[in-house]
Structure 1
Amino acid sequence: MTTRPPNCPYAHSHRHRKSGRGEDGGRAIEHRGDTWHLRSYAAVKQVLRDGDRVRQGIDAALGAKAALQTRQRKPVIFQDGAPHREQRAAIARFFTPSAVAAYGALIEAASERILAGLRRSGRGDLSAMSMQLAVEVAAQVVGLTNARRPGTDRRIAALMSQAHPRTRLGRRLAALHSQLNALRFYLLDVRPAIAARRKKPREDVISHLLAQGYRDVDILTECMTYAFAGMVTTREFVGMAAWHLLEDQALRRDYLAAQEPERHRILHEILRLEPVASHLYRRTVAEVRLRHGGETYTVPAGALLVLDLRAANADPEAVGAEPLALCPQRPLARGVHPFALSFGDGAHRCPGAYLAIKESDLFLQQLLRLPVILQRPPRLTWSDQLGSYELRDVTLELASAGGSGGTT
């Protein structure tokens, strides 16, 4: 068990979790029928690392079961066993620290270009800016660099938008709209990238998939997976990190004065506190035994496991006392990452973790060195489809442009 955290200068009232949704809490391990809810750090980590008895819960995650039944190949995020290990080993080269370092100049140039609009107008929407950044960077890794029209970021945002119509006709129209968004993304972004790489392969994911014999529809599915896992999540994290840093001038000053390891530690602590994805889903293929509080829980084969990352990341046994306070200096239990389980763990741990933090850091450094303020707290909602928070109306204003209000 960890010790009590030090007297953290940031751990006062408004340094706590901003993305609370009223459901935090509950027993560490509980089940209702064949659905088991795990909120303990140790239990969630055990499940994520158990590749022999546990598989991806594709019927629960992203509503993927029906969509994948017609696919010849599952996206890598939904694979398990040997096929998953082979694919992960093949794509790992795109996300190594040395590979990410090569994107440093691209990230800095993109950040400079994106923030130029803020400098000119004195105002800007951080949600739109961070989405543009995330798409530009991830597109280089994936290979989505041959769009027939500008606006890849807007088309990906449309892919991830959701509606909740109450009527049968409304639901049918929403489904049709979703299919049209996917078709538009395919025709304007994915198909041109595939055509270009059939002629001249490059060092990116689409070229690798073509070499593996993937069909266009399979590549589209992979690109949509990367759109969420590598683009949308980074967009939301940049907004959340900026919200924390803009609200506390001491934290902002320390972040800008720090070297890269200390800056990354601050970002990791924000991510621990505010994981973008709230839940992961798994299914047991064999009996699993979990221990907590001196009790043993036997989970039968075929059970659905709902892994609560928000609760696990705030487990005092792993992250110490006051787990809902932001404290980059907090002592952690042995083996606990500074970001806890926000990037997952085990075989399906996010391969782009280092890239996400690196691009967030480079962009936030440029942003926070401007005399920028947050005009008002962002509008926070939840995506039931993706199980993640969404920050919108993140309006920034340059103080020199007459902004005397805002949150500080």
Structure 2
Amino acid sequence: MSGRRAVREDEATGPPVEHVPLGHGPDIWRVRSFDAARQVLRARHLTTQAGFTAERIPRGVFRRHPILISDGEGHDSQRRELARFFAPAVVADRYGERIDELARDTVGRAAAAGRCRLDEVALHFSVAVTSEVVGLTESTVAGMSRRLEGFFTQPPVDLSAPGWGRTRRQWLQAAINGLVPIARFHLADVRPAIRARRRRHRDDVLSHLIAAGHSTSDILVECVTYGTAGMVTTREFISMACWHLLTDRELAAEYLAAEQPRRVEILEEIIRLEPVVGHLFRRAQDDIEITAPGGTVTVPAGDLIDICVRATNTDEQAVGPDPESLCPVRSTADSVPAVGMSFSDGAHKCPGQTLALYETDALLHRLLDRSPTVVAEPTIGWDSVIEGYRLRGLELAFPQGPAREGRRS
């Protein structure tokens, strides 16, 4: 079936492990073998988070390090505490009805208008879902969406370049572009939600953070983490998955006719092929041995390790033959998940995988049931901070007629 859409011409596909001397500091090791990548991501206590500019985030202001940038026992404890909000059974039982309601309303409005730009629809839907789970329910979705989008107006970053490829002026601009939206997000979204939950505890992430004694600054940065992660990655995946389905009639027909577990399998294959976050970075804190096709190498302490997710997800030894094609009946090697490395692995494996797939299916199944047509193809851009693609401009038109509610399962 159809192949990958998000392709970077400047991105090599081999070798499995590549040493890149930089000459101005610690070197970079690019890992493209699935098995080697998993070794790195599961090397407990030997590496620390280096992606998403984590190494430049000041830690002294936080009583507890944010889950995105923490490592070790503190990180493990945070994950255990929050796992109950993202477990598969919890997603379906606790949030399923509300997600379905949001999807029904979202698609209904788009179809009634006759036309929509999918990235905007996906933005508001993903923010609405994330706000329910996190507990940011005291402000409007439209306003929160604008404020969360503001975080990503950032100068480009290159972890392999001196100063990460930014001038002093660009770092200042990055700080301003980050702090101003954070202040607005705090005042308009987080503070009202905290006050509401101090008055009445609810069963959401924010209430848990308050009960666990997190400071206001700790809560704010966690809300930023969950809000932006839930918005950015899911928004892009919804657009990408819809683009694949609407331009492959056979795949769309199979998806529409299938029960929910089978639909999720199709979405898993799409995100394996089109991972939203294309690179995961870890900093070696001690020497690490990595075994890959071709032999064993030792990554010295201090060097940066770049897990090239698009490459690991098309490693034929892991995902089978014809790895760059979309094959909804793909059989991966033992212990290799259907999504590949798209949700990471090890200590920093994304806890929101089930939620992201569930909400994407909830929206797309209803959307495709309205028989939309593509009237404008999207453009693909790249976000260097999250090392991911950005799809904009996918426009859909809906046939006008009596509204109908498709089969749900």
Q: Do both proteins adopt the same fold according to a TM-score greater than 0.5, normalized to the shorter chain?
A: yes
Matched residue, 1:6:
none
Structure 2 CA distance for aligned equivalents of residues 249 and 399 of structure 1: 17
Matched residue, 1:94:
85
Structure 2 CA distance for aligned equivalents of residues 161 and 175 of structure 1: 11
1:30 equivalenced with 2:30 (yes/no): no
Structure 2 CA distance for aligned equivalents of residues 78 and 170 of structure 1: 22
Over 3 Å counting, the alpha-carbon distance change for 1:175 and 1:287 in structure 2 is closer
Contact 1:110/1:133 (8 A) holds in 2:
yes
Contact 1:143/1:205 (8 A) holds in 2:
yes
1:51 equivalenced with 2:35 (yes/no): no
Task: Give unpaired runs (5+ residues) of structure 1.
Answer: 1-10, 402-408
The letter of the residue matching 1:232 is V
Q: 2:120 aligns with which of 112, 120, 128?
A: 128
Contact 2:4/2:274 (8 A) holds in 1:
yes
The normalised TM-score by structure 1 is 0.90
Pairwise CA distance, 1:167: 8.8
Matched residue, 2:134:
142
Structure 2 CA distance for aligned equivalents of residues 115 and 344 of structure 1: 30
Pairwise CA distance, 1:150: 4.9
1:198 equivalenced with 2:198 (yes/no): yes
3-state SS, counterpart of residue 19 of structure 2: strand
Structure 1, 157-166 or 313-322: larger mean CA deviation: 157-166
Structure 2 CA distance for aligned equivalents of residues 213 and 44 of structure 1: 36
1:28-69 alpha-carbon deviations (Å, 9 max, x no partner): 101123211111101101111111322222xxx222323223
Pairwise CA distance, 1:91: 0.3
Q: 2:3 aligns with which of 1, 16, 20?
A: 16
Pairwise CA distance, 1:199: 1.7
Contact 2:150/2:177 (8 A) holds in 1:
no
Contact 2:31/2:308 (8 A) holds in 1:
yes
Q: Percent identity?
A: 42
Matched residue, 2:152:
160
Structure 1 CA distance for aligned equivalents of residues 140 and 374 of structure 2: 35
Structure 1, 199-208 or 381-390: larger mean CA deviation: 199-208
Matched residue, 1:84:
75
Pairwise CA distance, 1:336: 0.8
Structure 1 CA distance for aligned equivalents of residues 77 and 34 of structure 2: 28
Structure 2 CA distance for aligned equivalents of residues 282 and 167 of structure 1: 23
The normalised TM-score by structure 2 is 0.89
Matched residue, 1:384:
384
Contact 1:56/1:281 (8 A) holds in 2:
yes
Contact 1:164/1:171 (8 A) holds in 2:
no
Pairwise CA distance, 1:192: 0.7
Matched residue, 1:361:
361
Pairwise CA distance, 1:204: 1.3
Structure 2 CA distance for aligned equivalents of residues 319 and 21 of structure 1: 21
Over 3 Å counting, the alpha-carbon distance change for 1:163 and 1:50 in structure 2 is closer
1:90-118 alpha-carbon deviations (Å, 9 max, x no partner): 00000112211121111111112112222
3-state SS, counterpart of residue 185 of structure 1: helix
3-state SS, counterpart of residue 151 of structure 1: helix
1:260 equivalenced with 2:264 (yes/no): no
Matched residue, 1:8:
none
Contact 2:118/2:394 (8 A) holds in 1:
yes
Matched residue, 1:327:
327
Pairwise CA distance, 1:16: 0.4
3-state SS, counterpart of residue 192 of structure 1: helix
Pairwise CA distance, 1:131: 1.1
Structure 1 CA distance for aligned equivalents of residues 392 and 82 of structure 2: 32
Structure 1, 321-330 or 73-82: larger mean CA deviation: 73-82
Over 3 Å counting, the alpha-carbon distance change for 1:169 and 1:316 in structure 2 is closer
The letter of the residue matching 1:41 is F
Structure 1 CA distance for aligned equivalents of residues 114 and 86 of structure 2: 35
Structure 2 CA distance for aligned equivalents of residues 111 and 331 of structure 1: 31
1:104 equivalenced with 2:96 (yes/no): yes
The letter of the residue matching 2:208 is H
Contact 1:149/1:188 (8 A) holds in 2:
no
User: How many residues are paired up?
Assistant: 385
Pairwise CA distance, 1:386: 1.5
Contact 1:148/1:188 (8 A) holds in 2:
no
Matched residue, 2:58:
68
1:67-105 alpha-carbon deviations (Å, 9 max, x no partner): 223432321121111111111110000011221112111
3-state SS, counterpart of residue 373 of structure 2: strand
3-state SS, counterpart of residue 376 of structure 2: coil
The letter of the residue matching 2:193 is A
The letter of the residue matching 1:131 is L
3-state SS, counterpart of residue 36 of structure 1: strand
1:343 equivalenced with 2:343 (yes/no): yes
Matched residue, 2:289:
289
1:223-244 alpha-carbon deviations (Å, 9 max, x no partner): 1111232221011000000000
Pairwise CA distance, 1:294: 4.0
Over 3 Å counting, the alpha-carbon distance change for 1:170 and 1:348 in structure 2 is closer
The letter of the residue matching 2:183 is L
Matched residue, 2:301:
301
Matched residue, 1:5:
none
Matched residue, 1:4:
none
Structure 2 CA distance for aligned equivalents of residues 29 and 169 of structure 1: 35
